[in-house]
């Protein structure tokens, strides 16, 4: 008897509800490191781009080939960088996808009590594998090595993300269980377990048409909070993208937006992709993310 694809998603949802009984810290693991989905209110479960999946839903790594490099400017004095590599066996018709990702954020601040400058940094190395189980169902695993550095003190942890998605031309359903793993090595804090689940709806257009509008509805659930997200992506001729997002039940980074463009390089089978995201954090400051990619 063949297992119906929807049963897999139901099983993962039931499992994830049990995992939330344990928790928590290392907030960097819950920062959205992807450029595109940062402009879409940080949706992660239902955005089915292979390059975004390295830092969001690993199930959607299938189908991507190329390299993407990004730079982040955060709160004026916090800088970050990302690099993503994707490869799929069989490209768009592939059943197996592989990815590597690296991301870091660093800053320096002054200790109010001692007046000494303190250097702080976070970094993640991700190894992603995704598999197309059925024609519409994908499963993925992301293994992450996390390093937190505060002057001479180093915290390390190993964690995994599990993802699944149900993908059709008009609808995408997805779920991601994030940050299952060991305690931080020095402080013995638990990792910030989080579960994202949501959907994408193609309101207008298809891959062959000139214009396309995607609607995203998603929730992020942890022990401490539940954030609801809504976002819209407009794509013109698969060349220009405009993105808006809004978060509910949170006091920071409620409104997000960004733009992206694709440019074909003549005479060779390459595409360059440029994306820009802007996230106003209210009194905390502003985040600008920029990425440049080459896709085969």
Local confidence band at 24 (pLDDT 50, 70, 90 cut-offs) = very low
**Residues with Cβ < 8 Å from 38, sequence gap 6 or more?**
32, 256, 258, 277, 279, 287, 289
Dist CA 69 CA 100 (whole Å): 12
Q: What is the pLDDT of residue 124?
A: 95
Q: What is the pLDDT of residue 262?
A: 85
**Is pLDDT at 14 greater than 70 in this prediction?**
no
**Is pLDDT at 30 greater than 80 in this prediction?**
yes
What letter would DSSP give residue 2? P
Residue 148, token pair as written in the block: 């937190």
CB crowding 233-258: b at 16 or more within 10 Å, else e? bbbeeeeebebbbebeeeeebbebbb
**Is pLDDT at 206 greater than 70 in this prediction?**
no
For all residues of the chain together, what is the average pLDDT? 83
For residues 90 and 122, is the Cβ–Cβ distance under 8 A? Answer: no
**Is pLDDT at 111 greater than 90 in this prediction?**
no
Q: What is the pLDDT of residues 142-195, one digit of tens each?
A: 999 999 988 778 899 999 999 999 999 899 999 999 999 988 888 888 899 999
What letter would DSSP give residue 191? P
Q: What is the pLDDT of residue 264?
A: 77
DSSP string for residues in 48-114:
--HHHHTTS-GGGGTT--EEEEEEEEETTTEEEEEEEEEEEETGGG-SEEEEEEEEEEEEEEE-TTT
Residue 248, token pair as written in the block: 């509910």
| Domain spans, the chain | 5-295
Q: What is the pLDDT of residues 253-273, one digit of tens each?
A: 788 999 999 887 766 667 788
Q: What is the pLDDT of residue 72?
A: 76
Q: Mean of the pLDDT values across residues 83-96?
A: 84
Residue 86, token pair as written in the block: 């994707």
Q: What is the pLDDT of residue 207?
A: 55
Local confidence band at 243 (pLDDT 50, 70, 90 cut-offs) = very high
CATH (one of 3.40.1440.60, 3.30.70.590, 3.30.360.10, 2.40.160.60) for 5-295: 2.40.160.60
Q: What is the pLDDT of residue 15?
A: 40
| Dihedral of the alpha carbons of 184, 185, 186, 188, in degrees to the nearest 10 | 50
**Residues with Cβ < 8 Å from 189, sequence gap 6 or more?**
24, 25, 26, 183
Highest-scoring range by mean pLDDT, 7-21, 150-164, 197-211? 150-164
Candidates 158, 165, 217; CA nearest to 183 is: 158
Cis peptide before 24 (omega within 30 of 0): yes
Q: Mean of the pLDDT values across residues 87-98?
A: 83
């Amino acid at each position: 008897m063949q297992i119906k694809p929807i049963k897999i998603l139901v099983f993962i949802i039931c499992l994830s509800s049990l995992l939330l009984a344990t928790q928590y810290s290392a907030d960097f693991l819950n920062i959205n490191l992807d450029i595109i989905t940062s402009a879409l209110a940080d949706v992660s479960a239902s955005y089915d781009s292979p390059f975004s999946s390295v830092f969001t839903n690993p199930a959607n790594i299938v189908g991507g080939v190329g390299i993407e490099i990004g730079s982040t400017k955060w709160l004026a004095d916090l800088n970050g960088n990302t690099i993503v590599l994707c490869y799929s066996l069989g490209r768009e018709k592939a059943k197996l996808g592989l990815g590597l990702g690296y991301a870091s954020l660093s800053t320096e601040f002054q200790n109010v009590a001692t007046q000494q400058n303190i250097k702080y940094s976070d970094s993640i190395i991700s190894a992603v594998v995704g598999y197309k189980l059925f024609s519409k169902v994908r499963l993925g695993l992301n293994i992450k090595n996390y390093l937190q550095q505060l002057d001479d003190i180093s915290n390390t942890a190993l964690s995994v993300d599990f993802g699944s998605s149900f993908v059709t031309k008009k609808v995408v359903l997805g779920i991601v269980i994030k940050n299952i793993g060991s305690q931080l090595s020095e402080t013995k804090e638990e990792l910030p377990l989080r579960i994202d689940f949501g959907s994408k709806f193609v309101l207008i257009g298809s891959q062959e048409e000139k214009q396309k509008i995607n609607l995203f509805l998603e929730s992020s659930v942890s022990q401490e909070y539940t954030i609801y997200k809504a976002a819209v992506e407009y794509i013109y001729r698969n060349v220009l993208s405009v993105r808006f997002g809004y978060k509910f039940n949170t006091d920071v980074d409620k409104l997000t937006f960004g733009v992206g463009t694709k440019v074909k390089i003549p005479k060779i089978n390459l595409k360059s992709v440029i994306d820009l995201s802007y996230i106003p954090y209210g009194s905390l400051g502003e985040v600008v993310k920029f990425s440049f990619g080459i896709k085969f």
